[in-house]
């Protein structure tokens, strides 16, 4: 890894590690904001296609959960709180999972919404909690299996009600994604490469070495995406990974979050470390700024 890449990834990780009380005043009165201005006013921590209304994109931020339509307006649909970790349920369109911080500080534990993100309840404190999962993922192979990073790699096998520590976290962890084929298979994006575990995080092996990986995502149909610095956005089916480039020249952008429409895998959305949200309607061949 070059010094320049290490500096850039370290800066990204520092941004992902933001914690503490949420600045409520920013969105206390404003219920909506142009999606193109979100990056100027908050940090984006996750994306998901709104499967109850697939034209819309759900944007988890430091100041609440927003729903944005193609017209360009992002409406805050939750209370003001920090969604540090955020992931949709892989098969239930109305259920979302998250973790982070309430507006008055502290940790939220593992929380869930069953109405598309409007209302949230704590499911559990997590192991040694209340936890603040900055990285979390739900297994598409078995949605009762959830992984989160807090004081080690934690795993729940009952939908987040109870948790145990599966093992230590990979060094310089940036992102996690569970396999769509096997609930005990897990991928980790780190500053040193892409890792894979076949035993629920007990041990790890290198899948991509020598370059920082800033995101990893696995769709319910078994497609793996990873953003590798110096190579761009890559895609492969699971199994024997054969990563191929997806679309654009990303320039200085480092992609942190990705969402694919489960009903139309050609519709893909990404968010960069600069707060840009880009959309593709052709499986990643071409991209445009979402909301413009």
DSSP per-residue string spanning 63-122:
TEEEEE-TTSEEEE-S-S-EEEEEEE-SS-TT-EEEEEE-TTSS---EEEESSTTS--EE
- Cβ neighbours, 10 Å, residue 182: 15
Domain containing 39 equals 3-289
Name the CA dihedral angle for 196, 271, 273, 92, rounded to a multiple of 10 degrees. -50
**d(Cα 288, Cα 292) in Å, to the nearest integer?**
8
Residue 52: per-residue pLDDT: 87
Residue 2: per-residue pLDDT: 40
Domain count, the chain: 1
Q: What is the pLDDT along the chain (292 residues), one digit of tens a residue?
A: 343 444 355 455 444 444 444 554 555 545 788 888 888 888 999 999 998 888 899 999 999 999 998 888 999 999 999 999 999 999 999 999 999 999 889 999 999 999 999 999 999 999 998 999 999 999 999 999 999 999 999 999 999 999 999 999 999 999 999 999 999 999 999 999 999 999 999 999 999 988 999 999 999 999 999 999 999 999 999 988 889 999 878 888 999 999 999 989 899 999 999 999 999 999 999 999 988 7
Residue 215: per-residue pLDDT: 96
Residue 30: per-residue pLDDT: 54
CB 193 within 8 A of CB 213: yes
**d(Cα 178, Cα 281) in Å, to the nearest integer?**
25
Query: What is the DSSP pairing of strand 223-228 with strand 213-218?
Result: antiparallel
CB 221 within 8 A of CB 265: yes
**d(Cα 14, Cα 31) in Å, to the nearest integer?**
28
CATH, residue 212: 2.130.10.10
268-272 sheet: strands from edge to edge: 255-260, 268-272, 277-280, 288-289
- Whole-model pTM: value is 0.90
Question: What digits encode the pLDDT tens for the residues 85-109?
Answer: 999 999 999 999 999 999 889 999 9
Question: What digits encode the pLDDT tens for the residues 97-144?
Answer: 999 999 889 999 999 999 999 999 999 999 998 999 999 999 999 999
> For residue 287, how many C-alpha atoms fall within 13 Å in the half-sphere facing its CB?
18
- Cβ neighbours, 10 Å, residue 181: 14
Name the CA dihedral angle for 120, 73, 220, 114, rounded to a multiple of 10 degrees. 20
Give the residue carrying structure tokens 């909301």.
291
């Amino acid at each position: 890894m070059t010094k320049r890449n290490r500096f850039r990834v370290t800066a990204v990780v520092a941004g992902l590690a933001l914690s503490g009380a949420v600045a409520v005043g920013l969105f206390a009165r404003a219920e909506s904001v142009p999606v193109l201005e979100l990056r100027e006013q908050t940090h984006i921590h996750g994306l998901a296609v709104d499967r109850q209304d697939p034209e819309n994109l759900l944007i988890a931020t430091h100041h609440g959960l927003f729903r944005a339509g193609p017209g360009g307006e992002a409406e805050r649909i939750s209370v003001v709180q920090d969604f540090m970790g955020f992931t949709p349920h892989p098969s239930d369109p109305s259920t979302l999972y998250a973790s982070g911080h309430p507006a008055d500080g502290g940790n939220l534990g593992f929380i869930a919404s069953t109405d598309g993100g409007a209302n949230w309840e704590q499911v559990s404190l997590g192991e040694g909690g209340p936890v603040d999962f900055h990285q979390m993922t739900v297994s598409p192979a078995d949605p009762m299996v959830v992984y989160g990073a807090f004081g080690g790699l934690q795993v729940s096998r009952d939908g987040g009600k109870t948790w145990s520590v599966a093992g230590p976290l990979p060094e310089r962890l940036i992102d996690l994604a569970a396999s769509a084929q096997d609930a005990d298979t897990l991928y980790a994006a780190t500053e040193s490469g892409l890792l894979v575990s076949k035993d629920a995080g007990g041990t790890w092996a290198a899948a991509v070495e020598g370059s920082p990986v800033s995101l990893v995502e696995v769709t319910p149909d078994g497609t793996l995406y990873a953003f590798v610095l110096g190579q761009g956005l890559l895609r492969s089916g699971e199994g024997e990974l054969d990563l191929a480039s997806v679309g654009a020249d990303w320039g200085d952008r480092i992609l942190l979050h990705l969402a694919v429409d489960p009903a139309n895998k050609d519709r893909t959305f990404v968010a960069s470390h600069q707060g840009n949200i880009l959309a593709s309607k052709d499986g990643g061949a071409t991209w445009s700024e979402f909301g413009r």
